[in-house]
Every structure is written in structure tokens, then in C-alpha cells.
Amino acid sequence: MTDALPARRYPTDGEQAFHQALQRAAQAYLRQRDDHRFADGRQLFKAALLLALCVGSYGLSLLQHNPWIFLLCYFAFIMLGMLLNIVVNHDASHNTFLRRRGLNRLISRIVTLPLGIDPDYWRLRHVNFHHIYPNVEHYDLDTEENGFFRQTPYQRHRRYMRYQHLYWPLIAALSLPYIAWIFDWSDRLGKTPLKANQPLPGRRGWLIFCVSKLGHLLLVLALPMTAAASHGIGPGVVLSGYLLGQMLASLLVVFLLLGTHWAQAEFYDAPQTENMPQGWYRHNFATACDWQPTPRWLAHWTGGLHLHLTHHLFPGWHHRHYPALAQILSRLAAGHGMDYRCISYRQLLTSQRRFLRAMGRGDDPRAARPRPEDKECRNR
């Protein structure tokens, strides 16, 4: 779908009282702590530590003579780059890591180099489409039809998709490479809805885009292959490490960003009129939920994405605030007729598997509703 998509409007739908109560509570939380919405010193230290470990792992890989130690260091470099994208780039894309937009964009450009995706196009897809229209056919570009994987009831069903609950990890593992080498170039060439608001216009945009792609190849393939060859390590070792690292990084990122929108979630066809069928808050409650990782300490490394509904309602806040905001959200939701859901890791996996099976069979799970025991996270 290459034409510009007409904007759709969410009706207020009686949500003003909830919006005002939620914003008052969130602002009161900040005033009580004498705090701000952005990253604090602790988060900056965590980011600097991850960056140092990432660069250090990369440097060590270039010095190795043993192929297995090389692979270990190189793989650590890719995984740490993935973590930087989760705990730093995602916030930077929403301009909540630092206060200055220009610095956020610079940080995004740097930390996305190990994964090869263009941060400006990813930000536009994520912020301007997925966040505004989650689970809306054609508008949520994260759920575009691809012919291999059916993830909405409005997409064409093919017989082999009955096995998608088995092969979906492979699709997820290839998603970031697909974004880097298919989506990014399609966006750049004006073949997608992003054409209407090009983030990198003109020759300067082409230069930034191409230099970033070349920089990725030099960083993760050309330099490691050159160093490895000087130490007697073949290029196949580097290429294998690159492919396996990129695929695992992709699997983890897609799981955090997209899987929550499959768990007992609603899906919507593109509306024929200007108005969406319900208000913005009810739409987000219907299309996402919060979940808790197991073990709980993993929550420190998800970039707050496990509290995914909270993130969608507070995209302008750094993820360090999400636990407190989720408590505010759960407290206020019931009193305003909002169905807040916070489920366990086990429930998340069960819901995802059930959804993928239903989509693979050609079923339409839009009427699915959460079980009562899924509505509240205990011992947050």
C-alpha cells in the first residue's frame, strides 16, 4: 500500500474524565518526587555501561585468534547492541531519553548501527503509525500483510499458515533484517505510506541513509572479516556469527514490541469514515496489555516494554516511570469503565500461542475477552 493514508480521528467518547484523572495523578507523582519525565542519572549510567561493554566486546572480537572466542565476543557485541536499542533507542525514538530532540536522534543513529535499521524510518513507522493506530489494518505498519504470516483477521488466509504457530519464531528472527534491507529501502524509495512525511528528504537524506547502511556493513562485516582473516579465521565464521546474532536480536525485539498486541487483543479494519469506532483510550485498552516477566529482575532489561499498555498511554515518559504509572493506571481504570489487563509471562505465552493457532486456522478472534484472573498483576 503506497498511497498516503488519510488521517483518522478518535472520538472523545466520554473519556475526558479518565484522561484528566490520569494526567492529574501522573503529574502529582512527578511533583511528589520533584522529578521529570526523562532519563535520570542512573539510566544514563546504565546506557553508558552497556555502550562500553558493547564497544569492548567488539574490540576484543577483533583481537581474537581462536574462532570460538571470536564468536563469543562478536555475539556479545550484537546482543549488547540489541539491549541498547531496547533500553535506549526506544526511549530516544519517543524523545524521552534526553530533553533535546537532536541529541535523541544522534543517539538513535549510533546505537542502531549494530542492527542495521534506519532509526528515522523506524521511528516514523513506530511513533506515527503503530502508536496512533495499533492493530488497525493498513494503518499499523507493524502488522502489514506479508503473505507468510497472518496476524490480523482481515488478512488473507493460506493453507500453510495453519503451521504458523510453529514457524513464527523464524519469521520474528528475520524481521529486523527484513526491516533493514527491505522496509527501509522501500520507505526510502517512496513505496510505502511513509512517502507522505519523508523523514530524510533530498540529497542530504540519501547521504545519511546510505552512509548509515554502509557504516553497518563496515562495522559488523568488513572490519571483523579483515581482522579475523589476519588471525587465520575464515569469513564464514564472521558471517555465521552475524546471521545468528541478528536473528536472535530480532526475535527478542519483536517479542517485546509486538507479542503484547496478540494477547487477547482486538483488531480493527480501516474505518470507511473519518472517525474511529471508539475513543483513543478504549482503543489502546483493547489492543494491548501489561505483563510481568519471569523472573521479575528481567524487568530491568526490557526497557519497560513489558508494561506495554502503560507505554502506549504514556509514550512521552521514560520507561523508568512505567511501574509507578502502571499502578496509577490500574487504580483509576476500573472506576472509569476501562478494562486494565496485566498478565503473567506464562499467560502471555499461552495467549500468543492461542492467537497464532486461531489466525493459522483462519478463525476470527476479535470477540475474545480476557479471563477474570488475567485482569490484575499481583505483587507488582
pLDDT digits (tens, 9 = 90+) for 113-158: 999 999 999 999 999 999 999 999 999 998 888 889 999 999 999 9
pLDDT score of 365: 52
pLDDT score of 371: 39
| CB neighbour class for 161 (10 Å; exposed up to 12, middle 13-18, buried from 19) | buried
Whether 375 is covered by a domain: the verdict is no
pLDDT score of 377: 56
pLDDT(236) > 80: yes
Percent of the chain having pLDDT more than 70?
A: 94
Number of domains in the chain: 1
Whether 159 is covered by a domain: the verdict is yes
Cα 200 off chain centre by? 21
Whether 13 is covered by a domain: the verdict is no
Whether 380 is covered by a domain: the verdict is no
Q: How many CA atoms lie within 13 A of 369 on its CB side?
A: 3
Range of 301's domain?
20-365
Whether 77 is covered by a domain: the verdict is yes
Q: How many CA atoms lie within 13 A of 89 on its CB side?
A: 26
Percent of the chain having pLDDT more than 90?
A: 78
Whether 379 is covered by a domain: the verdict is no
Whether 372 is covered by a domain: the verdict is no
Residue 168 CA: distances (Å) to CA of 17, 151, 174, 224, 323: 41, 10, 10, 31, 30
Rounded Cα–Cα distance for residues 341 and 368 (Å)? 13
The set of residues, in sequence order, having a beta carbon less than 8 Å from that of 201 and lying 6+ positions away, is: none
Compare 224 and 378 and report the one with higher pLDDT. 224
Whether 214 is covered by a domain: the verdict is yes
- Rounding to the nearest 10 degrees, give the CA dihedral for residues 64, 67, 71, 77: 20
